[in-house]
């Protein structure tokens, strides 16, 4: 029997997190790829929130070991600008699991806001290479293209750049919390 559809690791991590933390919502998995990986509804199936999940292993240990004591996780994604612009999902969820960490972090962001920020950082390129770092002080930064001194400033919590600061989206599950009913 051929496996027609299965979820990938990031979708499992997100689904597991939602089911453990938001007991009143229902989690749905599409039977085919429709540009939405997970659908979350309230208990009455009236208020849906669709999620596109992007998972990355931790690249911090292999690429930036000098920051590992100050950075909790570092992920890398190759994103198609058109995929973000044409996304039917309400939110994109970037899953970051730090090397040796038991907990995962999530960047939960609307695709229009994601694209606006990435365009300001990287320009309107067809393919976007995005690196997200999460500091041990719960800050999240897009670091692709930064110099070593700027990366050090991020690690030491001295860096300032509102376009690169994704901290407001770090573990921000307000979209699911709003339909949870409690």
Would you tell me how many other CB atoms lie within 10 Å of the CB of residue 57?
A: 16
> Cα(54)–Cα(78) distance, rounded to whole angstroms?
10
Q: What is the pLDDT at residue 1?
A: 40
Q: Can you tell me the distance from the alpha carbon of 144 to that of 152, in angstroms, rounded to the nearest whole number?
A: 13
Residue 19: C-alpha distances to residues 36, 62, 108, 159 (Å) = 18, 32, 16, 35
How much is the pLDDT for 14? 96
pLDDT score of 4: 53
The model's pLDDT over 66-119, given as tens digits with 9 standing for 90+, comes to 666 788 889 999 999 999 999 999 999 999 987 666 779 999 999 999 999 999
Residue 2, pLDDT score: 46
C-alpha–C-alpha distance, residues 87 and 36, integer Å: 8
Domain locations along the chain: 9-180
pLDDT of residue 181: 80
Which residues of the chain fall below pLDDT 70? 1-5, 59-68, 99-101, 182
Structure tokens at 28: 């749905």
| pLDDT for position 63 | 56
Q: What is the pLDDT of residue 33?
A: 80
Full-model pTM = 0.92
Identify the pLDDT of residue 168.
98
């Amino acid at each position: 029997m051929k496996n027609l559809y299965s979820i990938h690791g990031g979708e499992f991590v997100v689904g597991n997190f939602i089911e453990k933390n938001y007991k009143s919502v229902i989690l749905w998995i599409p039977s085919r790829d429709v540009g939405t990986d997970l659908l979350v509804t309230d208990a009455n199936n009236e208020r849906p929130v669709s999620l596109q999940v992007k998972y990355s292993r931790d690249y911090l240990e292999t690429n930036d070991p000098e920051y590992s004591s100050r950075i909790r996780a570092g992920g890398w994604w190759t994103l198609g600008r058109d995929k973000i612009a044409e996304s039917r999902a309400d939110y994109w969820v970037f899953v970051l699991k730090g090397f040796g960490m038991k907990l995962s972090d999530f960047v939960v962001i609307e695709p229009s806001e994601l694209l606006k920020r990435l365009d300001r950082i990287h320009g309107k390129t067809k393919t976007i290479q995005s690196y997200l770092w999460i500091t041990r002080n719960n800050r999240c930064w897009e670091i692709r293209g930064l110099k070593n001194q700027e990366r050090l400033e991020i690690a030491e919590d001295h860096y300032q750049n509102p376009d690169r600061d994704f901290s407001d989206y770090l573990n921000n599950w307000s979209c699911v919390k709003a339909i949870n009913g409690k």
